[in-house]
Amino acid sequence: SPLPPPPPPMTVDNALRLDGDITGDGGVLKTVLTPGSGASHPEPGDEVIVHYTGTLPAVPPAEPTVFDSSRGRDAPFRFKLGEGAVIKGWDIATKTMLKGEKAKVVLAPSYAYGDAGSPPKIPPGATLEFEMELIGWVSHKDLFGDEGVIKTVIAEGEGWERPLDLAEVQVNVEAYAVVARAGGNLKKGEVLFSGKQTFSLGRKECPEAWEKVLRDMKKGAKVKLVCDGKYAKPGPGTIYVPEDMFAAKLAYELELVGWLKVEDVTKDGGVVKKTLTEGEGWERPNDGARVTISAKLRVGDAAPFLVHENLSFKVNTGIVLDGLDRASQSMTKN
């Protein structure tokens, strides 16, 4: 009977081989010199740490020329994988490697510096050879690099804007126990909270992990955070977490509904402006310009104690309260 077909080569991302002609076009040739450990590979967005020596191949008996080496500097090289921080062949080869793996990687010009090269060290159209060692990586999902908070993106969101410092964000939150220790008062999967929360960024009104992810989220984005140890303890914004919860892990699902922009106009906290409705254009009143505003003055959340409709004055002439003057100068026409 005919022999069974050979098994398909091991791949990463269902596209790249882990050894040999890993791109399938001869552009990136990889030979594993020392196998790595584990079964996971770095992913795009991870910060990878590598040692390398780069050489220009030569025709024997000439010796290859070393053009760069992290080992010569005794300092590993760090970069964000898949973000164009290095030559194309490096991004491709690195994501096929295991932790601790050493490999010889040969890059065709189209996966290195192309026809132009990188003078004076890399001539035009050069094929490059690297000996690479993947020391390790910090997962972009591991928020603090200690496996205390692992992030999973559920939805990317829309647009390009992200909330800045002091922004008042509105977030749909669901908090639940992932694992509960024996004898605890919390069961696995038990929902602790489900609803909308509003708080300001940069004022310690929510957990540190929330702050970190929300600053990088777009409107409508949704993430899941699995928190362990100190990151699962109750604190600002999570008063619904029991002090004696005995939970090994908590999960938070956060959906960024939207936010109001907040600006420290005077840069010292003296005048802080929250934008309720965006104005038109970009122009703002200069010194001496006459403005007309509507203003309501209140203390905290109390009812206004003074209301001005169509209050007209010249900017920066001392006619009105300095704070009102400063805020008016930072506004656009509504």
Q: Which residues are catalytic?
A: 52, 67-68, 87, 113, 130
Per-residue CA distances from 321 to 288, 289, 297, 306 (Å): 15, 16, 11, 13
Distance between CA atoms of 285 and 90, rounded to whole angstroms? Answer: 52
Q: Which of 120, 2, 110 has the alpha carbon at shortest distance from 65?
A: 120
Per-residue CA distances from 201 to 170, 191, 259 (Å): 11, 25, 10
> What is the pairing mode between strands 168-180 and 191-200?
antiparallel
- Please give the sequence-ordered ranges of beta strands (E in DSSP) within the chain, or none if there are none: 11-12, 16-17, 20-21, 28-34, 47-56, 65-69, 77-80, 102-107, 128-138, 149-155, 168-180, 191-200, 222-228, 247-260, 262-264, 272-274, 290-297, 306-314
Is residue 262 within 8 Å of residue 168, measured between CB atoms? yes
Distance between CA atoms of 26 and 138, rounded to whole angstroms? Answer: 30
Residue 283's identity, in one-letter code, is: E
Distance between CA atoms of 103 and 32, rounded to whole angstroms? Answer: 4
